[in-house]
Structures are given as C-alpha cells and as structure tokens.
Amino acid sequence: MKKLLFFCSSILLLTVLIVYLNQEKDAKVKLRLGDNSYMDEVSITQKKAGRIKWILNSEKAVFLTDNDIKLNNLKIIFPEKELTLTSNGGMYNIESRNLKIDGNINAFTKDYRIVASTLFWDSSKNEVFSDKKVQLVGKKFFAEGDTMTATTDKATLNKNVKAVFYGK
C-alpha cells in the first residue's frame, strides 16, 4: 500500500512539474517601462561600421510615459570630432528619436567651447538647432547668435550674430 501511495504521489508531482515547465516555455515576459520607472547610471554607445559615433551617459533615466524619457546629468562624447557635451538634463522621445537637451550646456573640443541653454536634435534630419542664444568661445575668437543650426559638417549662428576676433 505504501508503494502504491508513493508511486501515485510521484506521478502527481511529476505531472504538476511538467505542466509548470511547459507553461514557462510558452509564457513571454512583458516588461512595461513607463509611469516613472527609472534606470540609474545609463550608458548608450552607438557604432557604425565598427566605429563609435557617440556615447551617451546619464546619471538617471526616468520613463515618464511609454515614449518620453527624462535624462539627468548628461554627458555625450563624439570621439570622431573629439567633442564632449555636458548638460543638466534632457528629454528623449523613443518614437521620434529626438533629443532635447536643457540646462547649462557646455560642449568642448581642443579648439573651442559651445555654451547654450537649450539644444534640439532632430534625428530625421540629423541636425542640431537652438532657438536660444548660443556662444562659441575659442582661443582667438568669441561669437554668439540668437539661434543656431548645425549639421555634421558645419554650424551656423543666426539672428543678431556678434563676433570678436583677438589678435596675436
């Protein structure tokens, strides 16, 4: 009798285990980020043809909605241009892939520095623009304009552009 009871218990336990394992294989984990979920110490690297195009680091990424991510304390490095951009924060839209960078923006290269309060990156045009004052400060020049547009190969200051060039 004990052997029969042990055998039936074993079969029942084995059946429950098989049903449980089969359900696990079919079930897909759904991760829903939004409504103030967040990640700390985020780092994103974009490569093209094996070369690093840019590296974005953020102290904290807060998912405000399914598409909007608030980034705190940004640092973006563009190795090919030897440019580093820092900012208090920004907002990234997953759907459009656009990035708005806000607050105390400083971008540095070996030859000049860019100072701004707001920059927008339009991913569809691969273009950066600002509707606020932007300053370019170099070793031998200072320039500022009320707006700016930049592509991969040039930046243009617009509206009330002022420039000072220093001598030797």
pTM over 0.75: no
- Between 159 and 20, the more confident residue is 159
Task: Return the percentage of the chain with pLDDT > 70, whole number.
Answer: 78
Please write the tens of the pLDDT for every residue from 20-69.
Answer: 555 544 444 444 555 567 788 888 887 888 888 888 888 988 888 878 88
CATH among 2.170.190.11, 3.40.1390.10, 2.60.450.10, 3.40.50.2000 for 37-165: 2.60.450.10
DSSP-assigned letters across all residues of 76-119: EEEGGGTEEEEEEEEEEETTT--EEEEEEEEEE-SSEEEEEEEE
Please write the tens of the pLDDT for every residue from 3-28.
Answer: 555 554 545 555 555 655 555 444 44
Q: What pLDDT is recorded for position 23?
A: 55
Question: Is residue 159 exposed (0-12), middle (13-18) or buried (19+ Cβ within 10 Å)?
Answer: exposed
β-pair partners for 91: 70, 100
| Distance, CA of 84 to CA of 77 (rounded, Å) | 4
Please write the tens of the pLDDT for every residue from 76-115.
Answer: 888 887 888 889 998 888 888 888 888 888 888 888 888 8
Q: What one-letter code names the amino acid at 121? A: W
Q: What pLDDT is recorded for position 16?
A: 53
Q: What pLDDT is recorded for position 27?
A: 45
For the segment 124-131, the average pLDDT, to the nearest whole number, is 82
